Amino acid sequence: MDRDIFKTLCAGVVFTKKNFTPATGFLPKEENTKSQPSKADGLDKPKRHKKKKKKNKNAEQRKQEFGNLEDFEQLSSYGVLPRLIENIKKAGFAEPTAIQKEAIPVMMDRREIMACAPTGSGKTAAFLIPVLHYLREPRNNGFRALILAPTRELAKQILDVCKQLSVGIGFRCHYIEKASTATSKFGPKSKKNFDVLVSTPNRLVFMLNQDPPLIDLSNVQWLVIDESDKLFEAEGSQNFRDQLATIYKACSSDKVRHALFSATFAFDLQQWARKTFHNVVEVTVGASESGKRLAIRDIIRKGIEPPVLIFVQSKDRAKELFSELIYDGINVDVIHADKTQLQRDNTVASFEAGHIWVLICTELMGRGIDFKNINLVINYDFPTTAVSYIHRIGRTGRAGRPGRALTFFTEDDLPNLRSIANVMRRAGCPVPAYMLKLGRPSKRERKRTVPVKRKHISTVRHDGTQKSKKRKVDQPNNVNTGESSTLNDKSNETNRRGHQKMKPKKGNKNKKTKISKTPVNENIEA
């Protein structure tokens, strides 16, 4: 009977499975009550509560599984050899850095990792400690760990740290100096009495491309790529992408695990790692105040193209940063409210004439001066508002000229990070997805534009004594910075750009030469 009524009412109507919704109004009263679950059945709210509880439980398990490494003594709970822990302390690592706390437990669990941390944060030890722990002891099975670096200097630096950590354990750590001598050492006819290989891609690929290959990587169980963002750049003849593809195929063991470490990660590199690696864990550690100091020194060491403008949030911090950079072999000066108008005019004129390469200033000072032809703007201290950010970076890339802007941020700057990321996204710049997913600041936080309270930049105490111990913590033994080039190796970088290396000049307080005053433009378009 019910079926006949349904046919009559639905005559000429075509139902599809996708859009079909049962007409419960035509069902008998008994069936209608059964089709709607009641709260007493325990299928409505309690079911959702159970699901949520299970999700939280999994999150706690993951946190318990990896966790943070608060002290190097905790490595004994992972089964790390006591001699390796002793070598870590002797190498100058007093306590784990932020990246070591996050990355070491992940690699101890044999998970593939993509770790991003600032320069000088201890990335080298972050991957060497778990790799040496996994190798456990020397074996005559050929290379079981391969570490790639973009430059020879960085490769040798990693090798030195690896040897320091291997004292008393017996790991054979090697570096390819020449392909001809490496063939007899590591070729097919060798005794395979080696464990760790640190190399640049060029020489390694040359040996792999020979017929037959001059080196065997089939037993490699850890492939680590340090400064991977540089290795994945494809510029001219140094096409690291093709070289890495050759090395990746040569490490053919089914037990091989991969690790990428770098100070920055490009978007295409992140996408490649997510597709290529198995169940990769992404670890990102923000910069600290000491990390910013190391990062700006690294930028200068690699070579800058003057003029460069650096923004800080106060005149005291401008003075401190100036006192740190004045002895780094560059022409740097500072402009702030404590200087007289004549001193400020002289500084600006020298900056525009090219006698000063890097100028440090506060935002208030920077807004009142019309700087021209700035090649690079560095926001050493994160701007408090999006308007402030626009004013700062607006100093470069004017009148159709190319320009770059770098912005440092720490965990204290996260409340203001999303607004700046939206400005960058609207301007067409690539922005990491996590920045856009950050929580919105409250109305009170948006109205509050008070600068973040930061630690002192200067390594000199207020009483005039030097913080030698703290500098040692920032960069223990000068071997775990994760960077390759030394100052001597890179000293001619700026000269190649057409700028002669000059001794840093002191302030222009006693300068008698008259310099015409630069017109001040108060109205600056954002």
Does 312 or 471 have the greater pLDDT score?
312
Q: Which of 395, 421, 447 represents a domain boundary (last residue)?
A: 447
Q: Look at residue 502 in the predicted model and tell me its pLDDT.
A: 42
The rounded mean pLDDT for the chain is: 76
Write out the residue range of the structural domain in which residue 358 sits.
Answer: 303-447
The stretch 336-353 carries a mean pLDDT of 90
**Closest among 238, 244, 249, 155 to 200, alpha carbons compared:** 155
Do 137 and 253 sit in the same domain of this protein? yes
pLDDT-derived band of residue 400, with 50, 70 and 90 as boundaries?
Answer: confident
pLDDT in tens, 21-49: 454 444 444 444 444 444 444 434 444 44
Q: How many other C-beta atoms lie within 10 A of the C-beta of residue 216?
A: 19
- Is there a domain that residue 11 lies in? no
Angle made by CA atoms 265, 266, 268, in degrees to the nearest 5: 125
Q: Which of 447, 469, 484 represents a domain boundary (last residue)?
A: 447
Query: Phi/psi at 51 (nearest 5 deg)?
Result: -65, -45
pLDDT in tens, 243-271: 888 999 999 999 999 999 988 777 777 88
How far is residue 385's CA from residue 60's CA, in Å, rounded to a whole number? 36
Q: Look at residue 23 in the predicted model and tell me its pLDDT.
A: 47
Do 309 and 415 sit in the same domain of this protein? yes
pLDDT in tens, 275-312: 888 889 988 886 677 778 878 887 887 788 899 999 99
Q: Look at residue 155 in the predicted model and tell me its pLDDT.
A: 93
| Residue type (1 letter), 95 | E
Do 248 and 329 sit in the same domain of this protein? no
Ranked by mean pLDDT, the top range of 134-138, 467-471, 486-490 is: 134-138
- Is there a domain that residue 242 lies in? yes
Do 81 and 130 sit in the same domain of this protein? yes
3-class SS letters over 158-170: HHHHHHHHCCCCC
pLDDT-derived band of residue 359, with 50, 70 and 90 as boundaries?
Answer: very high
- Is there a domain that residue 271 lies in? yes
Do 231 and 344 sit in the same domain of this protein? no
Do 177 and 220 sit in the same domain of this protein? yes
Q: Look at residue 360 in the predicted model and tell me its pLDDT.
A: 94
How far is residue 70's CA from residue 261's CA, in Å, rounded to a whole number? 21
Gap between the terminal Cα atoms of the chain: 76
Residues 6 or more apart whose CB falls under 8 angstroms from that of 330 comprise 300, 304, 357, 358, 494, 504
How far is residue 358's CA from residue 347's CA, in Å, rounded to a whole number? 11
Do 309 and 392 sit in the same domain of this protein? yes
For residue 345, the domain's CATH number is 3.40.50.300
The count of domains in the chain is 2
Do 241 and 340 sit in the same domain of this protein? no
Do 81 and 198 sit in the same domain of this protein? yes
Q: Look at residue 10 in the predicted model and tell me its pLDDT.
A: 65
- Is there a domain that residue 482 lies in? no
Do 439 and 315 sit in the same domain of this protein? yes
Do 310 and 273 sit in the same domain of this protein? no
Q: Look at residue 236 in the predicted model and tell me its pLDDT.
A: 42
Q: Look at residue 300 in the predicted model and tell me its pLDDT.
A: 83
Q: Look at residue 84 in the predicted model and tell me its pLDDT.
A: 95
Ranked by mean pLDDT, the top range of 76-80, 159-163, 393-397 is: 159-163
Ranked by mean pLDDT, the top range of 126-130, 319-323, 326-330, 508-512 is: 126-130
The stretch 305-327 carries a mean pLDDT of 91
Considering only 11-20, 115-124, 452-461, which range has the smallest mean pLDDT?
A: 11-20
Please report the DSSP string for 170-222 in residue order.
---EEE-S-HHHHHHHHSTTS-----EEEE-HHHHHHHHTSSS-SS--TT--E
Whether the Cβ atoms of residue 216 and residue 188 lie closer than 8 Å to each other: yes
How far is residue 11's CA from residue 162's CA, in Å, rounded to a whole number? 81
How far is residue 449's CA from residue 397's CA, in Å, rounded to a whole number? 27
**Closest among 348, 295, 289 to 320, alpha carbons compared:** 289
Q: Look at residue 8 in the predicted model and tell me its pLDDT.
A: 66
Considering only 80-84, 94-98, 168-172, which range has the smallest mean pLDDT?
A: 94-98
Residue 111 has pLDDT above 90, yes or no: yes
pLDDT in tens, 87-107: 999 998 988 988 999 999 999
**Closest among 291, 346, 266, 272 to 516, alpha carbons compared:** 346
Q: Look at residue 227 in the predicted model and tell me its pLDDT.
A: 86
pLDDT-derived band of residue 380, with 50, 70 and 90 as boundaries?
Answer: very high
- Is there a domain that residue 501 lies in? no
Q: Which of 447, 481, 515 represents a domain boundary (last residue)?
A: 447
Whether the Cβ atoms of residue 470 and residue 94 lie closer than 8 Å to each other: no
- Is there a domain that residue 381 lies in? yes
Residue 317 has pLDDT above 50, yes or no: yes
Residue 496 has pLDDT above 90, yes or no: no
Q: What share of the chain has pLDDT > 70, as a percent? A: 70
Residue 187 has pLDDT above 50, yes or no: yes
Do 207 and 100 sit in the same domain of this protein? yes
Residue 492 has pLDDT above 70, yes or no: no
- Is there a domain that residue 494 lies in? no
pLDDT-derived band of residue 69, with 50, 70 and 90 as boundaries?
Answer: confident
Task: Name beta bridge partners: 114.
Answer: 260, 282
Q: Look at residue 366 in the predicted model and tell me its pLDDT.
A: 67
- Is there a domain that residue 483 lies in? no
